[in-house]
Protein backbone atom coordinates (compact mmCIF):
# COMPACT_ATOMS: atom_id res chain seq x y z
CA UNK A 1 0.00 0.00 0.00
CA UNK A 2 1.26 3.49 -0.88
CA UNK A 3 2.17 5.98 1.81
CA UNK A 4 -0.42 8.64 2.58
CA UNK A 5 0.45 12.35 2.84
CA UNK A 6 -0.43 13.59 6.35
CA UNK A 7 -1.36 17.05 5.03
CA UNK A 8 -3.72 16.37 2.13
CA UNK A 9 -4.57 12.69 2.65
CA UNK A 10 -3.62 11.67 -0.89
CA UNK A 11 -1.05 9.00 -1.77
CA UNK A 12 2.50 10.40 -1.82
CA UNK A 13 2.83 10.02 -5.63
CA UNK A 14 -0.38 12.07 -6.14
CA UNK A 15 0.30 14.62 -3.38
CA UNK A 16 -0.16 18.23 -4.46
CA UNK A 17 0.82 19.92 -1.19
CA UNK A 18 3.98 21.49 -2.63
CA UNK A 19 2.09 23.12 -5.50
CA UNK A 20 -0.67 24.35 -3.20
CA UNK A 21 1.91 25.90 -0.85
CA UNK A 22 3.57 27.70 -3.77
CA UNK A 23 0.23 29.17 -4.83
CA UNK A 24 -0.55 30.46 -1.33
CA UNK A 25 2.74 32.28 -0.71
CA UNK A 26 3.17 36.04 -1.07
CA UNK A 27 6.79 36.65 -2.08
CA UNK A 28 8.26 40.14 -1.89
CA UNK A 29 11.39 41.12 -3.78
CA UNK A 30 12.68 44.51 -2.70
CA UNK A 31 15.76 46.65 -2.99
CA UNK A 32 17.39 48.26 0.02
CA UNK A 33 20.49 50.37 0.38
CA UNK A 34 23.10 49.26 2.88
CA UNK A 35 26.34 50.79 4.10
CA UNK A 36 28.14 53.11 1.72
CA UNK A 37 25.14 53.19 -0.64
CA UNK A 38 25.43 49.58 -1.78
CA UNK A 39 22.19 48.07 -3.09
CA UNK A 40 20.99 44.72 -1.78
CA UNK A 41 18.10 42.61 -3.11
CA UNK A 42 15.99 40.99 -0.40
CA UNK A 43 13.61 38.10 -1.06
CA UNK A 44 11.16 37.27 1.72
CA UNK A 45 7.87 35.48 2.02
CA UNK A 46 9.17 32.03 1.09
CA UNK A 47 7.64 29.55 3.50
CA UNK A 48 9.53 27.53 6.09
CA UNK A 49 9.38 24.32 4.03
CA UNK A 50 11.52 25.91 1.31
CA UNK A 51 15.22 25.19 1.74
CA UNK A 52 16.48 28.77 1.80
CA UNK A 53 20.16 27.83 1.76
CA UNK A 54 19.92 25.82 -1.46
CA UNK A 55 17.62 28.39 -3.09
CA UNK A 56 20.06 31.16 -2.13
CA UNK A 57 22.94 29.17 -3.59
CA UNK A 58 21.08 28.74 -6.89
CA UNK A 59 20.15 32.43 -6.97
CA UNK A 60 23.75 33.47 -6.32
CA UNK A 61 24.78 31.37 -9.31
CA UNK A 62 22.06 32.77 -11.56
CA UNK A 63 22.78 36.38 -10.56
CA UNK A 64 26.57 35.93 -10.35
CA UNK A 65 26.74 37.72 -7.00
CA UNK A 66 27.33 37.13 -3.32
CA UNK A 67 24.58 36.68 -0.79
CA UNK A 68 23.22 34.81 2.19
CA UNK A 69 20.07 33.27 3.63
CA UNK A 70 19.14 34.10 7.20
CA UNK A 71 16.10 35.02 9.29
CA UNK A 72 13.73 33.70 6.62
CA UNK A 73 15.15 36.01 3.95
CA UNK A 74 17.52 35.68 1.03
CA UNK A 75 19.86 38.66 0.60
CA UNK A 76 21.78 39.18 -2.64
CA UNK A 77 24.40 41.84 -3.27
CA UNK A 78 23.31 44.24 -6.02
CA UNK A 79 20.05 44.97 -7.84
CA UNK A 80 18.81 41.61 -9.16
CA UNK A 81 15.05 42.00 -8.81
CA UNK A 82 14.16 40.99 -12.38
CA UNK A 83 16.53 38.01 -12.41
CA UNK A 84 15.14 36.76 -9.10
CA UNK A 85 11.57 37.16 -10.37
CA UNK A 86 12.36 35.18 -13.54
CA UNK A 87 14.07 32.47 -11.47
CA UNK A 88 11.08 32.12 -9.14
CA UNK A 89 8.73 31.88 -12.12
CA UNK A 90 10.84 29.02 -13.49
CA UNK A 91 10.55 27.29 -10.10
CA UNK A 92 6.77 27.34 -10.50
CA UNK A 93 5.69 30.24 -8.30
CA UNK A 94 2.68 32.12 -9.77
CA UNK A 95 3.43 35.58 -11.13
CA UNK A 96 0.54 37.20 -9.25
CA UNK A 97 2.08 36.09 -5.92
CA UNK A 98 5.46 37.73 -6.61
CA UNK A 99 5.62 41.41 -5.70
CA UNK A 100 8.47 43.64 -6.89
CA UNK A 101 9.17 46.76 -4.84
Helix (H, G, I), strand (E, B) or coil at 45: coil
pLDDT digits (tens, 9 = 90+) for 57-96: 999 999 999 999 998 899 999 999 999 999 999 988 888 8
Domain boundaries, the chain: 25-100
Query: Under CATH, which architecture does the 25-100 domain have?
Result: 2-Layer Sandwich (3.30)
Q: What is the pLDDT of residue 16?
A: 67
Residue 15 has pLDDT above 90, yes or no: no
Span 12-20, average pLDDT: 69
Say if residues 22 and 92 touch (Cβ distance below 8 Å). Answer: yes
3-class SS shares of the chain: helix, strand, coil, % to 5: 40, 30, 35
Say if residues 76 and 45 touch (Cβ distance below 8 Å). Answer: no
The half-sphere exposure of 27 on its side-chain side, counting CA atoms within 13 A, is 28
Q: What is the pLDDT of residue 9?
A: 73
Q: 68-95 burial by CB neighbour count: b if 16+ within 10 A, else e?
A: ebeeeebbbbbebbebbbebbeeeebee
Between 81 and 2, the higher pLDDT residue = 81
pLDDT digits (tens, 9 = 90+) for 20-60: 666 667 899 999 999 899 999 999 988 766 788 999 999 99
In the DSSP assignment, the letter for residue 3 is: -
Amino acid sequence: MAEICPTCGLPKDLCACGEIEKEQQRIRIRLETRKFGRPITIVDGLNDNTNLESTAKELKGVCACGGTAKNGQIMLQGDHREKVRDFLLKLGYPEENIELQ
